[in-house]
């Protein structure tokens, strides 16, 4: 939240008619200027911003440093394009304007949009830079548009002459699909302002992205904090649930791989069939897992409802947390059970594939029957499988 007085030097020379940025270079520049003005005034209410044009009939100050955003936006209207940019004169007049700022405590800053070729000598620019440094003025250069020989060098030399403890920056923006203002948002010209400036920049990015919100869930926490909180909590729970499901699936798939390997080892001739069997089994495991998940998911829904209520009452939140832990334990135990099931059914299928073991063996049947009722469909599937495997044998 630095207290600053800023002068923005706009390039309104003939080169700004070019359309390689946005609707036209000049429009892109105007949007960027509006954005900067907004960011500066938001980051500190006492900041002042002024605007001057460098080309046209000559260097002309449109607005002297003021904190009135309306005046600044109004003066950008009806600017004419023409002439050649006079960078040195522009920077010097900006410096004079900053000398007359009303609040002497404000830090002086000049932001220059250099879009057309720079016709000054490097030496001249360096001298100007030194003078700025002597008067403790910081300079930000936005290099866009034309890129002729030496322009980048000259601007870099100017920056080097002005720079004092890395407070001055230069940004090179090539022509491209992104708008000039969007690219600027991510540069130190904006982020150098601090948290307040970046907050504005973030909301501006949200608006600029058009639909894709900068904030999570498309809700501005400033506008509706409760809704944002509720959305965030439900998102986290969903994420946790998905992670648990993913873990189960991963474990099952790892066991699947193990089983698959053994099967392949035993039935090397029917490698493809083994794979298809493995796929079938995987589907079965997933079905099992999902059936396991359902009780867990119902628990989760209850959790979300409870958490909404908990937002208002911290004691209730504590109680809910404990209950959630319990339910988590339950679900984990259920997960264990499902793992066990998987194990058992898997073992039975392995046994079935092994020669000399008859799945119709009553002992195996008993073992299978001893499982939970949920394994019954599983058993039927196993029995179906078993004759198939017997046939294959």
CB of 313 to another protein, least distance (A): 56
Q: Which stretch binds another protein (CB under 8 A): 56-64, 276-284, 309-317, 381-389?
A: 56-64
Helix axes 362-369, 314-353, angle to 10 degrees: 170
Residue 274 and residue 262: Cα distance in Å, rounded? Answer: 10
Q: Which of 100, 130, 392, 393 binds another protein (CB under 8 A)?
A: 100
Q: Is 58 in the site for another protein (CB under 8 A)?
A: yes
Does residue 121 contact residue 155 with C-beta atoms inside 8 Å? no
Toward another protein, which CB reaches closer, 72 or 185? 72
Task: Pull the structure tokens for residue 92.
Answer: 């010097």
Q: Is 327 in the site for another protein (CB under 8 A)?
A: no
Q: Which stretch binds another protein (CB under 8 A): 93-101, 115-123, 154-162, 362-370?
A: 93-101
x-marked contacts with another protein along 63-82 as a string, rule CB under 8 A: xx-x----------------
Q: Which of 5, 32, 93, 183 binds another protein (CB under 8 A)?
A: 93
Q: Is 340 in the site for another protein (CB under 8 A)?
A: no
Toward another protein, which CB reaches closer, 63 or 118? 63
DSSP secondary structure code for residue 54 in this structure: S
Residue 76 and residue 86: Cα distance in Å, rounded? Answer: 19
**∠197-201-202 over CA atoms, to 5°?**
120
- List 112's β-bridge partners, or say none: 9, 141
Does residue 161 contact residue 129 with C-beta atoms inside 8 Å? yes
The DSSP element (H or E) to which 43 belongs, if any, is: helix 25-43
Q: Which stretch binds another protein (CB under 8 A): 10-18, 54-62, 254-262, 293-301?
A: 54-62
Q: Which stretch binds another protein (CB under 8 A): 94-102, 141-149, 362-370, 375-383?
A: 94-102
Question: What stretches of the chain adopt beta strand conformation (E)?
Answer: 4-10, 48-53, 60-66, 107-114, 137-143, 169-172
How many residues sit close enough to another protein to count as binding (CB under 8 A)?
13
DSSP secondary structure code for residue 4 in this structure: E
Q: Which stretch binds another protein (CB under 8 A): 53-61, 257-265, 267-275, 280-288?
A: 53-61
The site for another protein (CB under 8 A) is made up of 58-59, 61, 63-64, 66, 89, 92-93, 96-97, 99-100
């Amino acid at each position: 939240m630095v207290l600053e007085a800023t002068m923005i030097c706009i390039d309104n020379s003939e080169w700004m008619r070019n359309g390689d940025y946005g609707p036209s270079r000049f429009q892109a520049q105007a949007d960027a200027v509006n954005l900067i003005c907004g960011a500066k005034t938001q980051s500190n209410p006492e900041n002042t911003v002024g605007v001057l044009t460098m080309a046209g009939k000559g260097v002309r100050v449109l607005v002297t440093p003021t904190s009135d955003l309306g005046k600044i936006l109004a003066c950008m209207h009806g600017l004419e394009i023409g002439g050649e940019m006079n960078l040195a004169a522009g920077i010097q007049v900006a410096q004079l304007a900053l000398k007359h700022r009303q609040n002497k405590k404000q830090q002086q800053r000049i932001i220059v949009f250099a879009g057309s070729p720079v016709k000054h000598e490097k030496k001249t620019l360096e001298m100007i830079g030194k003078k700025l440094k002597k008067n403790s003025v910081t300079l930000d250069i936005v290099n866009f548009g034309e890129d002729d020989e030496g322009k980048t060098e000259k601007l870099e030399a100017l920056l080097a002459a002005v720079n004092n403890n890395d407070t001055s920056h230069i940004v090179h923006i090539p022509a491209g699909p992104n708008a000039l203002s969007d690219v600027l948002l991510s540069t130190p010209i904006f982020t150098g302002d601090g948290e307040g400036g970046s907050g504005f920049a973030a909301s501006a990015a949200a608006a600029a992205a058009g639909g894709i919100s900068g904030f999570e869930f498309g809700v501005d926490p400033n506008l509706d904090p409760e809704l944002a909180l509720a959305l965030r909590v439900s998102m986290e729970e969903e994420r946790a649930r998905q992670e648990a499901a993913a873990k189960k699936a991963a474990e099952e798939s790892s066991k699947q791989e193990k089983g698959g390997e053994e099967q392949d080892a035993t039935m090397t001739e029917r490698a493809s069939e083994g794979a298809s069997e493995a796929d079938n089994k995987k589907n079965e495991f997933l079905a099992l897992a999902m059936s396991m998940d359902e009780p867990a998911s119902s628990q989760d829904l209850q959790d979300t409802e409870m958490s909404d209520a908990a937002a208002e009452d911290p004691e209730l939140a504590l109680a809910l947390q404990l209950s959630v832990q319990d339910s988590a334990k339950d679900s984990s135990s259920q997960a264990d059970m499902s793992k066990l099931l998987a194990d058992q059914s898997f073992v039975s299928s392995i046994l079935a594939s092994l020669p000399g073991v008859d799945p119709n063996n009553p002992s195996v049947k008993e073992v299978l029957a001893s499982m939970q009722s949920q394994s019954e469909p599983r058993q039927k599937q196993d029995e179906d499988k078993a004759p198939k495997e017997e046939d294959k044998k």
